[in-house]
Amino acid sequence: MLAHLLAELPDSPRWLETRAILRSPHVTMYGGEDGYVVRLVHGAISVVAIVGRPSVDAIASAIEGITSMTPILAQSDNADHVERSLHAPASSGQPAESWTRERVILHRLTSSPALARAAVDQTFEIRLLTRGDDLDHLPPGLRHEITHAREMAPIAAAFVGGRPVSFCYPVWTTESMWDVSIDTLPEYRRRGLAAHATRFMTGHMRREGREPIWAALESNVPSRRLAARLGFTPVDENVAFSRGPWAFLSGGFTG
C-alpha cells in the first residue's frame, strides 16, 4: 500500500517531505479513499503530512500524542480542509487546540552566484562534521538537534577557531532532492558562514544525484533573503500548521 501511494506522488518540491516519510520504515498511515495522513514519530524525528482530504477522525488519530513542536504539512488545495479538521472539537468534548497556519515558500537552485568571503576575524574552514567533533559549546537546543542529525545524515559545518559554528544538512531526502536545513550560533550569524556551508553541502549531495530544495516560512524573511543570495528561486508552496515554534528534529525537546 505504501509503495502504491509513493508511486502516486511525483518527486517534486511540494512532496519532498511526504515522499521521504513514506520511504521510512517507521511511517504510520491513517485515512482512506478521500485522503490519508502519514506520521513519522521516531527517535528525534516528529512530523505529520496530509494528502487529499482525509476524515477529521483520521487527522485526530494521526496527531494524538505529538509534541507542540511537531509540524503538520499540507498543500494549498487541502489546507482549508485541514484547518477545519484541526479546529474541530475533540470527541471528548474538550475545546479544539489552537493552530497557526502559514505558507511555506519552496525554492529550487537556479544559479550559483559568487559568495563573498565570510566576515570573521579568524580563519574558517568548511568540511563535513565528524563523530569526533566536539559539540559541547553549542546551546542545549542546537546541540540536541545537531547530535541527532549527525546520526542520520551528513552535515556540512563552518569551523571558526577549530569549533563548528554553522551547519547545513538534509533532514529529508528523496531520489532526486534534499531539503536545506541550516543553523548558526547567534554570535556568528549574518557573516556569510551559512552560505558557505550550504554551497559545500550542495556539492556533496550533487555527487549523490540530489538537488537542494529551500523551504522557508513566508514570515522568515532572513531565510528567504539568504535563499535568493545563494541562487534559489521560488517554484511552489506548501502550508504548515503548528502550535508553537516547530522543528522536525524535536523529539519532544523544548529547551
**Over its length of 255 residues, how does the chain's per-residue pLDDT go in tens digits?**
778 888 899 999 999 999 999 999 999 999 988 999 999 998 778 899 999 999 999 999 999 988 888 999 999 999 999 999 998 865 545 556 789 999 999 999 999 998 887 777 678 899 999 999 999 999 998 998 899 899 889 999 999 999 999 999 998 999 999 999 999 999 999 899 999 999 999 999 999 999 999 999 999 999 999 999 999 999 999 999 998 776 666 544 443
Return the number of other C-beta atoms located less than 10 Å from residue 133's C-beta: 16
CA dist., res. 227 & res. 234, Å (int): 9
Indicate the Cα dihedral angle 37, 40, 46, 51, nearest 10°.
Answer: -20
Pairing, β 211-217 against β 45-52: unpaired
